[in-house]
Amino acid sequence: MTRPPIDNESGREPRTPAPDGLPPLLHADNRLLVFIKPPGLLSVPGIGPHKADCLASRAEREFPGARIVHRLDRDTSGVIVMARDADTHRELSRQFQDREVDKQYEAIVGGELAVDEGVIEAPMRKDLDDPPRQIIDDEHGRAATTGFRVLERLGDRTRVELLPVTGRSHQLRVHMLSIGHPILGDDLYAPYDLLQASPRLLLHATLLTITHPGTGRPTTFHDPCPF
């Protein structure tokens, strides 16, 4: 198995430390494990022994052979799937790579969006001068696409559904920032007032649809937004 890339937020302390123990298990069968990842928990190990604790290591202790397929940012919560064997890992990894997976997130952002829905297409790359931040770069960035839809207008903030087509690091956070609506509680991209508006990053992976490697059927996992 190829080791997943190191989480690029591993050098920062979480604003919301993750609770101890295995996260809530949304689904389990002989091929898959689906967890509800809490904010503050790395998906994969970071750099150094103090960053070894993560969803991948906790799950592997309880379910030997479990392996990570995709990642959520440390401070993002919600639905994340793991494979229980090499064949499942290979097939799910292919589905993510070929963009055959449907992902939905919910967030609360600052300000009032001018439109009810839209698509953000803004290439991204790592900010080499200020890691782990990512930036928009039309010339050197990798293509990144996010759909959005207003769910609720809350005066000086807005609840939105986010539909990533690509899966760049920090994509949803940077894309919402790029249109002037950073996510509340984001300690990398939100201005101070919106950072202080929430003790955690208000971004939750609510829905994930895959083709189940065992049955060949579309299978959806859903967890309601907790904020």
DSSP class per residue in 119-170: EEE--EEE-TTSTT-EEE-TTTSBP-EEEEEEEEE-SSEEEEEEEESS--TT
Residues marked active site are found at 73
Indicate left, alpha or beta for 116 from its phi (over 0: left) and psi (-120 to 50: alpha).
alpha
State the pairing for strand pair 203-211/77-83. parallel
State the pairing for strand pair 134-136/67-68. unpaired
For 160, counting Cβ atoms within 10 Å of its Cβ (0-12 exposed, 13-18 middle, 19+ buried), the class is buried
**Helices assigned H by DSSP within the chain:** 55-62, 86-97, 171-178, 192-195
Query: How many C-beta atoms surround the C-beta of residue 118 within 10 A?
Result: 13
Query: How many residues in the chain?
Result: 227
The whole-angstrom separation of Cα 170 and Cα 165 is 13
Residue 182's alpha-carbon distances to 41, 84, 87, 190, 202, in angstroms, are 22, 36, 39, 5, 10
